[in-house]
Amino acid sequence: MRRVLQFLEWKANWWMDQGNLRQGVSVELHEGCTAYAAKQAGIMLSLATSFAQDWTPLLEGHGMETVLWPEKFRVDAQVSAHPCQVLEVDVEDDFDDDLFF
């Protein structure tokens, strides 16, 4: 379970890097790519947080510790702002994903 959380955090960071890869495109397309990447990164972090919240009571109920999980995903920890959350944007879901990547 720790590895799943670490993978989702890695994937969120990977998505953030993808937003700036296209060079020589219009400002609008660049903003769209960046917004799409930020949205995907936010989804990865939301999944990780949701999984941690669901798994923590189960693990603790069986006497297992969640100490090895990244601090930001521990239910008892104060979640700090992640760079992906700062860039979160409201993008409608009714667009064609193939337009950006």
Is 91's pLDDT higher than 60?
no
pLDDT digits (tens, 9 = 90+) for 28-86: 999 999 999 999 999 999 999 999 888 888 888 888 776 677 777 776 653 444 444 44
Dist. CA 25–CA 78, nearest whole Å: 39
User: Smallest Cα–Cα separation from 12: which of 71, 63, 74, 86?
Assistant: 86
- Domain parsing of the chain, residue ranges: 2-89
Which position has the higher pLDDT, 65 or 9? 9
Question: pLDDT class for 23, splitting at 50, 70, 90?
Answer: confident
Dist. CA 9–CA 2, nearest whole Å: 11
Which position has the higher pLDDT, 5 or 78? 5
